[in-house]
Structure 1
Amino acid sequence: MTGKLYGLGLGPGDPELLTLKAHRILTSCTVVAYPAPDTGPSFARQIAAPYLTAAQLEVPIIVPMRVERFPAQDIYTKAAETLSHHLDAGSDVAVLCEGDPFFYGSFMYLFERLADRYPTEVVPGVSSMMAAAAGLGRPLAARNDVLTVLPGPLSDDELAARIEASGAVAIIKLGRHFSRIRALIESLGLTAQAGYAERVSLAEQKLTPLAEVAEDTAPYFSMILIYKGDERWHPALAKTLGSGA
């Protein structure tokens, strides 16, 4: 019999936001794999670190963090081959994923290569979008509001069209696109309805109305939430509800 493959959602960063199920599986698997940059530590491993033991075999999946494109498919193909050896040997393998495995998660690329050959289970995790809304003290959407999730690298024209068509918006993957996106939101007259969340659930998190962000850049782990609906939710709540988080 082969081992079982697990895709574990770890949540946005706080180790206490792991689900009980993810914790149980994480601590029982003999092999633990996770994405890691070619420079610096793995964020996924940092989240899971309190629960790892010396008896577990760790398998970093090195993914270069570059602006230019790299052969990602080759990386995941090689990683799948490595993990298949452990699965064939009967070892259960837990693949760690920040947030949720199927919400912009890297595990989906391993899933498509391995799930038809090995028993596989995906364990959902708390996404940073939900954690950001909780930290800002403002629901994402209500009633019949249409919530749209937009990656920051989209063009201004596409972002504007989708923002205008939605009652609530989450813009993720800000990074180097932050200044451009903030200017776009200002041009749409929505700055007062936008909240900013950075490194949510971590000790260094930042929660504030977008209008009060002084910097011109933002880290990759940041997002903007916009609410255009009829409910009286305002990002100024971040000052009171987010100050002690």
Structure 2
Amino acid sequence: MSSGTVYGVGLGPGDPDLMSVRADRLLRNARHVAYFRKHGRSGQARQIVNGMMPEGAVEFPMEYPVTTEIPLDDPRYNQMLSTFYEDCAQHLKTLAETGQDVVVLCEGDPFFYGSFMHLYNRLRDVVNVDVVPAITGMSGAWTATGDPITWGDDVLTVLAGTLPEEDLAKRMAQTDALVVMKIGRNFNKVKRALQSSGLYDRAWIVEYAQMPNQRVCKLTENCDGITPYFSIIIVHGQGRRP
């Protein structure tokens, strides 16, 4: 039997209308669909494709063993996630080796801060893996603000909010335009770094970018109710323009 293919399919920032034609076609013809989710949740990626999967498709929810319960610097964190990714990759490998194609749903772009990358590195040399790129979540977020992110020679920096506060502030001070991902419980730290770097007054926060419940707010204004767990911070460049 010929081997199947594991497809890492980017879904874009959240609106199904922003998926690529290829992603839509693969999903609507899928026999096996895998996606990540937290325990007890349906999963953001799975919610995006509600009503798009064919009847009878076999779903494989991959539930994280840990998210924020253990600090990132705790050795158990990497150990638990490594075992989790190994188990998930083995399941996908078995399906592919028996001739089955599998669509793995990926929020945003599969190669940009996504969990699929950990599966990809474990599968790329043992089965066929095909990655379908997509619009990133940050692109959806800066578009939601209604202003271009970069002008002229502006330098854009993308930072993870998990970095130490001193590193965040230093890198923020050296850029023209800024995107901060992975805010979550790091929200207050990120805000302090923005203040230290002089960017706070220009910063926006976008929650659920390009989704029906999207919210856009300037940090200096009343942003009550916006959760940092599904948000991206944007600072627009102010560079050269004709």
The within-5 A match list for 1:1-16 is 1-16=2-17
Describe the shift of the 1:127–1:199 C-alpha distance in structure 2 as closer, same or farther (beyond 3 A). same
> Which amino acid is 1:40 matched to?
R
* 8 Å CA contact retained: 1:15, 1:50: no
Name the CA distance, whole Å, in 2 between partners of 1:4 and 1:189: 48
DSSP 3-state at the match of 2:154 = coil
Asked if 1:101 is matched to 2:114, the reply is no
Bigger mean CA deviation after superposition, 42-51 or 186-195: 186-195
The within-5 A match list for 1:39-78 is 39-64=40-65, 65-68=67-70, 69=77, 71-78=80-87
Tell me which residue corresponds to 1:38.
Answer: 39
> Which amino acid is 1:35 matched to?
F
Tell me which residue corresponds to 2:221.
Answer: 212
**Runs of 5+ unmatched residues, structure 2:** 71-76
Q: CA RMSD in A?
A: 1.8
Name the CA distance, whole Å, in 2 between partners of 1:180 and 1:94: 37
> Which amino acid is 1:93 matched to?
V
Tell me which residue corresponds to 1:243.
Answer: none
* 8 Å CA contact retained: 2:30, 2:54: no
Deviation at 1:228, TM superposition (A): 4.3
For residues 49-71 of structure 1, the C-alpha deviation after alignment (integer angstroms, 9 at most, x for no partner) is: 22112221111111133331261
DSSP 3-state at the match of 1:67 = coil
Describe the shift of the 1:227–1:104 C-alpha distance in structure 2 as closer, same or farther (beyond 3 A). same
Name the CA distance, whole Å, in 2 between partners of 1:96 and 1:188: 37
Q: TM-score with structure 1 length normalisation?
A: 0.89
Number of aligned positions between the proteins: 232
Name the CA distance, whole Å, in 1 between partners of 2:98 and 2:169: 51
Tell me which residue corresponds to 1:121.
Answer: 130
* 8 Å CA contact retained: 2:140, 2:209: yes
Asked if 1:134 is matched to 2:135, the reply is no
Bigger mean CA deviation after superposition, 159-168 or 214-223: 214-223
- Match among 144, 166, 174 for residue 157 of structure 1: 166
Q: TM-score with structure 2 length normalisation?
A: 0.90
Name the CA distance, whole Å, in 2 between partners of 1:85 and 1:62: 18
DSSP 3-state at the match of 1:230 = coil
- Percent identity of paired positions between Structure 1 and Structure 2: 37
* 8 Å CA contact retained: 1:193, 1:227: yes
* 8 Å CA contact retained: 2:153, 2:240: no
* 8 Å CA contact retained: 2:205, 2:219: yes
Name the CA distance, whole Å, in 2 between partners of 1:143 and 1:230: 5
Deviation at 1:72, TM superposition (A): 0.6
Name the CA distance, whole Å, in 2 between partners of 1:13 and 1:213: 25
Describe the shift of the 1:106–1:183 C-alpha distance in structure 2 as closer, same or farther (beyond 3 A). same
Asked if 1:79 is matched to 2:80, the reply is no
* 8 Å CA contact retained: 1:197, 1:205: yes
**Runs of 5+ unmatched residues, structure 1:** 233-245
For residues 18-70 of structure 1, the C-alpha deviation after alignment (integer angstroms, 9 at most, x for no partner) is: 11110111122211111111122111111112211222111111113333126
Deviation at 1:192, TM superposition (A): 2.4
